[in-house]
A and B are shown apart, each in its own frame.
Chain A
């Protein structure tokens, strides 16, 4: 590799590094990976995960991505695709190896400092509901992944661009879609698009430490509900229902998942929501969130678990 520039950033306390001689690669990386902030001085030491992106030695107009530890190589046609590979691989590594990282396959929205999770199987309407809530004024922090702090159970946006599927475009409306397309980190994909919500005018940096205000389950197996019916789920049942949506089940099994999700379910009301025309579902969900977006959301004491 010819003389390389370096980009450094941190994710959940773990340092990452991107090396490339290409100014284009580094600029896209700066927007996508570090949210536009200059992170070259984030750590004087080498990154824990190091990626190298360079022109492919034999393929013209192609980019080679190596990393980490030069044990994995991929080739891409554009700098944006190369950076996307780094972005996604970094997230996969975080979820697979971060001992304290808890992620949920869920949409995350917020009002002020309160966070709302929407959980459901594929085709349950999760993305549609999340997008509609966003149109209604909630902050949109993720369509498919949210992070949970291990002790406080506070919620955070997944440190990656939001993935919005084509199916949500009609609901968003062309005006908002064009706003998204004009943001610096926007990237069209086969599934829809990637973007950073904080790059929209009037928005702020990704949400961190949202107090969990509610968990909404869609299409939970074995549950029959009336249209837009919002039915409370007992915490123990909600824990069993939520665990399969966590990375912990995949990486460590059901036992650790139950233990580590317990703080979240001990403090967060969960509800099943019946399918209905969107306005009725939106009205039902609105009742779960505090009206005052600036209301302090200090976490209540978390009861200790008396397990065997």
Chain B
């Protein structure tokens, strides 16, 4: 099962309830919302899609496991595309 973790080249800056992520080499930036910010904090250590999906369900009551999995996968894909995550395994 692959694990995902923050890329060392990623810098995060908290402003209000959002986090600005910057890739130091490519200089690309994205802003993530409060839910994404909490997932980002988890990704300081390696975590799987299932781990993030479980976290989403804790944050949003009533979120189905299937929906949580889809959202967690989409979140990880967007960060991977920006080079902000590394994948283990």
Seen from chain A, the residues whose Cβ lies within 8 Å of a Cβ on chain B are: 234-240, 253-255, 258-259, 262, 265-266, 303, 305-308
Contacts and interface: CB of A to CB of B under 8 A. Distances in A.
Counting chain B residues whose Cβ lies within 8 A of the other chain, the interface size class is: 10 to 19
A307 B14 contact: yes
A240 B31 contact: yes
A266 B29 contact: no
A124 B57 CA distance: 47
A266 B15 contact: yes
Contacts of B31: 234, 236-237, 240
Question: 3 nearest interchain CB pairs?
Answer: A236-B18, A235-B16, A235-B15
B22 A265 contact: no
A255 B24 contact: yes
A306 B27 contact: no
18 contacts: A234-B16, A235-B16, A235-B18, A236-B18, A236-B19, A236-B20, A238-B15, A239-B15, A240-B20, A254-B27, A255-B22, A258-B11, A265-B15, A305-B14, A306-B14, A306-B41, A307-B11, A307-B14
Contact of A239 (B6, B20, B41): B20
A237 B13 CA distance: 12
Contact of B13 (A238, A253, A262): A262
Dominant SS at the A interface?
Answer: helix
B13 A307 contact: yes
B44 interface: yes
B12 interface: yes
B14 A262 contact: yes
B3 interface: no
A235 B30 CA distance: 13
A235 B12 CA distance: 14
A29 B27 CA distance: 43
Contacts of B11: 255, 258-259, 307-308
B16 A308 contact: no
A262 B11 CA distance: 13
B25 to A, nearest CB: 10
A308 B18 contact: no
B20 A308 contact: no
Contacts of A255: 11, 22, 24
A308 B22 contact: no
Contacts of B6: 308
A254 B10 CA distance: 12
Interface in B31-82: 31, 40-41, 44
B32 to A, nearest CB: 9
A254 B14 contact: no
Contacts of A239: 13, 15, 20
Contacts of A238: 15
Contacts of B40: 308
Contacts of B12: 306-308
A259 B13 contact: yes
A262 B20 CA distance: 10
A33 B40 CA distance: 49
B40 to A, nearest CB: 8
A262 B15 CA distance: 6
Contacts of A234: 16, 18, 31
A38 B51 CA distance: 67
